[in-house]
Amino acid sequence: MRHDAPYLVKRLGHPIGRPEQPKRVIVEYHAYSLEDAVKWAVYEQRRSANPPEFRSWMCGSQRWIERRHQPATR
């Protein structure tokens, strides 16, 4: 996948270092169309569904789509 795709699917990742540090933003997927970006985000959301006991430490369930060079409003 080339890195000049117009849409990015992003998610929150685990903090680096100590637990009190902020979560980091990870680019998961580069999409060439909004439809592909939505399909990827929905697919990954369903695939990463875990039992409730693991959700307390997992941060990867929050995904959003941004157009390159135009941050999404959160």
> Does residue 45 form part of some domain?
yes
* In a domain? residue 74: no
24 part of a folded domain: yes
Domain membership of residue 21 as a residue range: 7-67
Does some domain include residue 23?
A: yes
Q: Would you state the pLDDT for residue 53?
A: 46
Q: State mean pLDDT over 38-65.
A: 67
Domain tally, the chain = 1
Q: What is the mean pLDDT of residues 36-53?
A: 73
Cβ-count burial of 47 within 10 angstroms (0-12 exposed, 13-18 middle, 19+ buried)?
Answer: exposed
Residue 2, in any domain of the structure: no
| 73 domain-assigned | no
Question: Per-residue confidence at 44, pLDDT binned at 50, 70, 90?
Answer: confident
Residue 16 has what pLDDT?
Answer: 79
Overall pTM surpassing 0.75 (yes/no): no
Instruction: Give dist(CA 43, CA 45) in Å, integer.
Output: 5
Give the CA radius of gyration of the chain: 13
